[in-house]
């Protein structure tokens, strides 16, 4: 009995990380973008385009790295469009983001038509890290995963160091907090915003590819099922901090995984209710997080969502 309880916990935790990883990639991308002052609401569409491009290329070439690269490029292209619309043309960022969500959803459906239900020759498989994987519970949860999960650990650490220990990181934040200040000190506000919007889109694309190449290796229309929106909520929960984004992503992943397991165990709770859980959880967390930070106005980059014009 104890053995099975233990196995249950381990499997839920391990699934939490896997389910949290695509959200984590998208949220990290959005943290970067928003820190430079651009609100990109197109994550849902961008993830879908990343998922379908990654899958198509992986099926054609049989090469996973090529698939992930394709997803990153596709995500970057959509983000570049967002940057052009919002930074250069100064279109309202919310409107642009929502339009690109619709655009991405439509394009992914069109591109993916031929490969619906096609099995992929390649997919990411768990690779146990020697020694570390044998730590009880945590070992299975963190170190018996696939390469994209390990890459996300490195990414989180790198982003944290970049934000708080490097000059480009400081400059990026200044552009999101006070573009006038950055501009007056010779920092190129436009170039910075373009760069981090595009990099953010690339990470979001990789998050999509994780779904189609690792989490559920296949292409199903609208397979993100709202994960892009959850990632946007997660950025607020994380107060724009990459470390907190990890915590949030795995929490969401855990709720998601738990619902699935409970269903498998044959509980009497209706399955619709369990499927609803991650979304209800998102709303609850947002209410909690914003009620706490509202009075202090912490976290949000001060110039988030505002176009910058010098004269």
Partner 1 sequence: MLSGSSTGVSVDAGAGTAAAAAANAGVDADADAAYVVEMRDITKRFPGVLANDRISFQVRAGEVHALLGENGAGKSTLMNILSGLYRPDGGEILVRGRRVHLGSPRHAIAAGIGMVHQHFRLVQSFTVAQNVTLGMSKPRFVLNMRAIEDDVARLSSSYGLQTDPRAKIWQLSVGEQQRVEIVKMLYRGADVLILDEPTAVLTPQEARDLFTTLNRMKQAGRSIIFITHKLDEVMEVADRVTVLRDGRAIATLDRKDATPGLLASLMVGREVGGAVPGKKAACGDCVLRISSVSALGDRGTLSLRSVSLEVAAGEIVGIAGVAGNGQRELAEVITGLRRVQEGRILLRGADITNRTPLEIIRCGVGHIPEDRLGTGMVPNLSIVDNVILKSYRSRPVARGPFIHAKAAREHADNLVRRFQVKAAGLDRPIRLLSGGNSQKLLLAREISANPGLLVAVHPTRGLDIGAAEAIHHVLIEQRNRGVAILLISEDLEELAALADRVAVMFAGRVMGVLRRDEWDIERIGLMMAGSATADTGHGADKGDRVS
Query: Three-state SS for 127?
Result: strand
Query: Is 309 one of the binding residues for partner 1 (CB under 8 A)?
Result: no
Instruction: Please identify, among the stretches 53-61, 159-167, 206-214, 220-228, the one whose residues bind partner 1 according to the rule CB under 8 A.
Output: 159-167
Minimum CB separation of residue 306 from partner 1 in Å reads 15
290 binds partner 1 (CB under 8 A): no
Q: Which of residues 19-78 bind partner 1 (CB under 8 A)?
A: none
- Which of residues 178, 247, 261, 275 is near partner 1 by CB under 8 A? 178
Burial 64-87 (b: 16+ CB within 10 A, else e): beebbbbbbbbbbbbbebbbebbb
Q: Does 174 bind partner 1 (CB under 8 A)?
A: yes
Whether 125 contacts 223, CB under 8 Å: no
CB of 301 to partner 1, least distance (A): 9
Smallest gap from residue 118 Cβ to partner 1 (A): 45
Instruction: Among 1, 131, 154, 185, indicate the residue that binds partner 1 (CB under 8 A).
Output: 185
User: Which pair of tokens denotes residue 234?
Assistant: 């997660």
By CB under 8 A, the residues from 257 to 286 that bind partner 1 are none
> Contact region for partner 1 (CB under 8 A) — 46-54, 151-159, 167-175, 284-292?
167-175
Q: Which residues pair with 19 in a beta bridge?
A: none
Interface with partner 1, residue 177, by CB under 8 A: yes
Q: Quick count: other Cβ atoms within 10 Å of Cβ 49?
A: 28
Exposure on the CB side of residue 175, measured as CA atoms within 13 A = 30
Task: Determine if 167 is a binding residue for partner 1 (CB under 8 A).
Answer: yes
- Please, what is the minimum distance in Å from the beta carbon of residue 143 to partner 1? 29
Nearest to partner 1 of 268, 310 (CB atom): 310
Structure-token pair, residue 230? 């959850």
**Count of residues engaged in binding partner 1, rule: CB under 8 A:** 24
310 binds partner 1 (CB under 8 A): yes
Query: 242-264 vs 2-35: helix axis angle to the nearest 10?
Result: 140
One of 88, 92, 181, 290 touching partner 1 (CB under 8 A): 181
> Which of 272, 276, 283, 286 shows the shortest CA–CA distance to 255?
276
Residue 257 CB, shortest distance to partner 1, in Å, is 36
CB atoms within 10 A of CB 30: 31
> Which helix (H) or strand (E) element contains residue 145?
strand 144-145
Residue (174 or 282) nearer to partner 1, CB:
174
Residue with tokens 């296949």: 218
The half-sphere exposure of 159 on its side-chain side, counting CA atoms within 13 A, is 28
User: What does the binding site for partner 1 look like in residue numbers (CB under 8 A)?
Assistant: 165-168, 170-171, 173-174, 177-178, 180-187, 295-297, 302, 310-311
């Amino acid at each position: 009995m104890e053995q099975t309880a233990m196995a249950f916990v381990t499997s839920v935790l391990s699934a939490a990380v896997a389910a949290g990883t695509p959200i984590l990639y998208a949220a990290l991308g959005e943290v970067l973008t928003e820190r430079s002052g651009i609100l990109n609401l197109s994550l849902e569409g961008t993830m879908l385009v990343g998922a379908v491009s990654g899958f198509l290329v992986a099926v054609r070439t049989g090469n996973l790295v090529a698939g992930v690269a394709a997803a990153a490029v596709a995500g970057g292209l959509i983000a570049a469009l967002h940057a052009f619309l919002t930074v250069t043309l100064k279109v309202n960022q919310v409107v642009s983001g929502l339009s690109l969500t619709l655009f991405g959803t439509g394009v992914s459906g069109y591109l993916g038509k031929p490969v619906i239900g096609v099995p992929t020759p390649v997919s990411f498989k768990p690779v146990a890290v020697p020694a570390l994987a044998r730590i009880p519970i945590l070992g299975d949860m963190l170190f018996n995963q696939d390469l994209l999960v390990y890459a996300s650990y490195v990414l989180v650490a790198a982003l944290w160091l970049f934000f708080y220990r490097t000059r480009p990181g400081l400059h990026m934040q200044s552009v999101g907090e006070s573009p006038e200040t950055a501009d007056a000190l010779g920092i190129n506000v436009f170039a910075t915003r373009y760069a981090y919007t595009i990099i953010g889109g690339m990470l979001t694309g990789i998050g999509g590819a994780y779904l189609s190449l690792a989490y559920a290796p296949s292409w199903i229309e609208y397979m993100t099922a709202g994960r892009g929106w959850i990632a946007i909520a997660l950025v607020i929960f994380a107060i724009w901090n990459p470390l907190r984004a990890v915590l949030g992503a795995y929490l969401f992943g855990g709720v998601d995984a738990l619902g699935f397991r409970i269903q498998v165990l044959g509980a009497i709770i209706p399955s619709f209710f369990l499927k609803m859980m991650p979304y209800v959880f998102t709303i609850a967390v947002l209410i909690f997080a914003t009620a706490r930070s509202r009075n202090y106005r912490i976290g949000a980059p001060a110039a988030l969502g505002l176009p910058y014009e010098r004269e």
